[in-house]
Amino acid sequence: MAIKDVSAAFRALSDPIRRDILKKLRKRSMTPSELAIHFPISKPSLSHHLNILKNANLIDDERQGQKIYYSLNATVFYDVMNNFLNNFR
């Protein structure tokens, strides 16, 4: 999956909580409940942030029973950055 919307990607990255979520997911996939431990916001708010990251194609999700595992979509992540940087080289 390629870059759908550069604006959405940058907007997603403009929030420190969302950048921290990506940093957590860099190490391993995590569920919303696992992530929630690290952030001082309600679960609906966390869900909202995850949705924004997902719509920007920066993360993927996969349900396993009751749990949903979110993971970093490194490909799109680099695509956004590199495509953008190439415009300025």
Q: How far apart are CA 39 and CA 34, in angstroms?
A: 10
**Alpha-carbon torsion (11, 12, 18, 23), positive or negative:** negative
**Cα→Cα distances 5→36, 75, 76, 86, Å:** 27, 14, 11, 17
CB atoms within 10 A of CB 30: 19
68 binds, among a copy of itself, DNA, none (CB under 5 to 8 A by kind): DNA
Looking at residues 27 to 86 of the shown chain, list those that interact with DNA (rule: CB under 7 A): 31-34, 40-52, 61, 63, 65-68
86 binds, among DNA, a copy of itself, none (CB under 5 to 8 A by kind): none
55 binds, among DNA, a copy of itself, none (CB under 5 to 8 A by kind): none
State the minimum distance, in angstroms, from the CB of residue 17 to DNA: 5
- Which residues lie near DNA (CB under 7 A)? 11, 14-15, 17, 31-34, 40-52, 61, 63, 65-68
